[in-house]
Chain A
Amino acid sequence: MTPPAAPPGTAAEPDSPAADRPLLRAAGLHKSYGATPALAGASFSIDAGEVVAVMGPSGSGKSTLLHCLAGIITPDEGTVHFQGAELSALSDSERSRLRRGDFGFVFQFGRLVPELTCLENVALPMRLAGTPRRAAEGTAGEWLARLEVSDTHAKRPGQISGGQGQRVAVARALAARPRVVFADEPTGALDTLNGERVMELLTAAARDTGAAVVLVTHESRVAAYSDREVVVRDGRVRDLGAGAAGHR
């Protein structure tokens, strides 16, 4: 995979190994919705190939953090660096190119495009990144097979089960070989067996492709698929194991 060119004015070197710095790093994020503070000084970092679980009570700011990290919303204060480039310094079109090429997304209810077949859904991010149709659909077919849902090829999202839809969504998130997968409660709508299988497939595929995974979940059995966990509490990110001094 060819990483996108570094935006002008940054010292990013996309081809250098990320050994000495995190792939994605956020510092001092603040975000309020009106008078409601969602993030109040949240910091976070993740290395290439790492799976980090983001846990914490409902309303603590997990989704807001994930959206800031992915450049979907802009924080009021603080910075997010991806491969050395600051997201807020990018133009809108550069940011959306990043979201299409380098980031993959899995949400609780899959959020597939209802008018497209499952194969077309999985091929979509690759098509948007400029891959020709046949190549994109070929790769999409392989990913559907890998997620054990080859039989959904020609079906539309309305014609498959929730568990199948979730697997299609994971295939879509990974098929474009993103550097970071953002998953917000990816198993929230699934039973135990299906949830575990989706986690197995997601983390195995991420390991194989070297993608980092930011995994928002409130289920400990899902978080147990990660390499480490952080907890969002009152809009800040804490590292549990370090005790009270564990602010990162």
Chain B
Amino acid sequence: MTDTVARAHEAGKTFANPGVSGAGQAARPAPLLAVHNVEVIYDKVFLAIKGVSLEVPEGAIVALLGSNGAGKSTTLKAISGLLGPERGQVTKGTVRWRGQDITRLSPPARVRLGIAQVLEGRRVFEHLTPEENLIAASTPIGNARRVRELVQMVYDYFPRLYERRNAKAGYLSGGEQQMLAIGRALMAEPRLLLLDEPSLGLAPVLVEEIFRIVQRINQEQGVSVLLVEQNARAALDVASYGYLMEDGRVRMDGPAEVLKANPDIQEFYLGGGAGRTSYRDVKHYRRRKRWLA
């Protein structure tokens, strides 16, 4: 471990849980989400994450960074309960929601508690219209009037979805589909939004627009966000705290400012090095050399 990494780690410990101020260790209330030492095995043989721990405090935006195959999506699925349909299993550790152990809860039960995941690759219901996508996702809401209010709220955040509300969702643009996927997750009135690579394949302007809206949702609705990204710069701009995963483990964590200032992170994830400006170069470089390997 390099010095800088160790420093960032220390800093992380000091500044961890930015939502809680002043309270002593004993009086600290349980965070909204606490993942403790979770291990996930796919198909009974493949060890995908190896003891991941992280926290999301109430009201925070937390970034989860890392390159391809680091285990980011797996971590999110362990939180939302979607490992079952993927033949994966949490074999160790716990996922706690406001202190309550939810490691074995069914996905719909977790959504009712307030956890909604936006899957990698958007995964809108292609043959349904955007409006039907939203209504389909309102299953946990009992009251029909509330459903209409929520649909309206989503349209307010994403006016473009309103314009295209009667088209087939499969024919929306990538950006519109991402908006729909986020809007759809809002239909369950979540307290925590798990976003898996919302910037994937989108033009930078669009990424900026979507991240701004996510920030507004966080501030106006008080929804906490766990944001998985390979686009570390965009993620650390909106997040207050970040975790960096590598090879199934959390390698580093700390306040966003500290991570952004970390030279290793700059080199690997912010494309900072001199003369390296094209994204393609960064990607190539990232593939060749592995973090702390």
A in complex with B: no
